[in-house]
Amino acid sequence: MVIVGGGAIGASTALELASRGAAVTLLERGPELGAGCSAGNAGLICPSHSAPLANPAAVRNGLRWVLRRDSPFYLKPRPKALPWLARFVLAARRAEAGARVIRGLALASLEMHAELARQVDTGFERRGVLDVYTSEETLAAGRREADHSGLRFESFDSDQAFAFEPALGPRTHGAVYYPDEAHCDPLRFVQAVGQAAVALRADVRTGTEARLRRTTGGVVVETNDGHLRPGVVVLAAGAWAGRLARAVGIFLPLEGGKGYHVDLEPAERDPRVPTWLQESWVMVTPLPGRLRLAGTLELAGLDLSIDHVRADAVRRGGVRALPGLQGRRVLDVWAGLRPCTPDGLPVIGRPADLDGLIVAAGHAMKGISLAPVTGRLVAELVAGETPSHDLEPLSPERFVPLVRPRAR
């Protein structure tokens, strides 16, 4: 069995399969596991934020922000993105159903994270997540969302928010705290999970570019070191999964949603819990040796270049809400590509006409959150077991192309 992609999804799948006794080979194109988007995201494990990327608020905000380079959502002008955007707008009408699907997966995955952390040093910490709001309107919307989430939460006015988190600035109008949620250092998570898979005899190969070719017997994986002919190929290549799938005649409409992080030198007055600044869509995560500011979404295809206007918007969003960050030394600026489907749901399942392929991609901003449960679902498919979650909403078959891609 071959897994293509060594991020959070690929590593978690390798560990789950190896723990069941499967012979696993994992191929990662980068120099180490987690070299892609899994290396630098905010690391939040939060069922509270289960609304799919395609939702009415995102459509409304997108129309306001889409051409502003420093906005939370930005579209780099590309005609190839127009079909994806059309599907995105149409899918926004089904956002509530999508949120229920993602929340169910995220709740199961949160408990799997906690169990995994008792066996593997993934850096998992259950301090909760704090959503911070700067207006009565947005705070009311956040409280309504919390009321409908079914999750345990605490609602704070401005004074209560300051008492809970003294690092907050005077712009704070209130906050909602989800005490059961968690975070981890995402790169540490991926590499620890990968090492645990290796300890169970998984073969992990980094620096290995993979290409897929369809044959009468299934899928051949071509690498510079030779060809592999496994019984099952798991495609977990993040934003690159769509391109690889196209080579075997499978249509996956994935867009690279570029996100940024700015890591700052830490200080004693930093937030104690991960803090989500709702209006600027900046997430602030305390990590070992640094304070991470992460956020924004730029539909950029597979362009990994850093736009410093957008990176600085992330930093400024953090400073506006947390004045103690002003003048803080920057340790690192990073960009990565989130794999985004137009309806905001991941793709987990077998294409109908290619039994030797399982797709596990398109998790957008929920890759770390959903990694353990995705690994389990893939293992259940491989074993022929009834999946522990309904995979119909996540099926690769839900996307119908205008023109079917031709396999090589």
When computed from its CA atoms, the radius of gyration of the chain, rounded to whole angstroms, is 20
Q: Is pLDDT of 408 > 90?
A: no
CB under 8 Å to 350, separation ≥6 — which residues? 357, 358, 359, 381, 396
Percentage of residues of the chain with pLDDT beyond 90: 84
Residue 157's pLDDT band, with cuts at 50, 70 and 90, is very high
More confident call, 249 vs 79: 249
Whole-prediction pTM value? 0.95
User: In the predicted model, what is the mean pLDDT of the chain?
Assistant: 94
The structural domains of the chain, with segments of one domain joined by +, span 2-128+180-398
Which CATH number is 2-128+180-398 given? 3.50.50.60
Which tens digit of pLDDT belongs to each residue from 137-146? 999 999 999 9
Q: Is the pLDDT of residue 405 over 70?
A: no
Cβ pair 260, 318 in contact under 8 A: no
Q: Residue 234: which residues within 8 A CB-CB, separation 6 or more?
A: 1, 2, 3, 4, 10, 13, 358, 359, 360, 378
Evaluate if residue 386 carries a pLDDT over 70.
Answer: yes
As given in the structure block, the two tokens for residue 362 are 């398109």
Which tens digits make up the pLDDT trace of 5-38?
Answer: 999 999 999 999 999 999 999 999 999 999 888 8
Task: Tell me the C-alpha distance between 190 and 125, whole Å.
Answer: 15
Question: Running DSSP on this structure, what letter comes out for residue 96?
Answer: H
> What is the per-residue pLDDT for 350?
96
Distance CA 101, CA 162 (A): 34
- Write out pLDDT tens, residues 267-311: 999 999 999 999 899 999 999 999 999 999 888 889 999 999 999
The residue behind tokens 């690769």 is 396
Per-residue pLDDT tens for 85-116?
Answer: 899 999 999 999 999 999 999 999 999 999 99
Tens digits of residue pLDDT in 214-238? 998 789 999 998 999 999 999 999 9
pLDDT in tens, 302-358: 999 999 999 999 999 999 999 999 999 999 999 999 999 999 999 999 999 898 999
Q: Are 337 and 11 in contact (CB under 8 A)?
A: no
132-141, 189-198, 299-308, 391-400: which has the minimum mean pLDDT? 299-308
Q: What are phi and psi of 200, to 5 degrees?
A: -100, 20
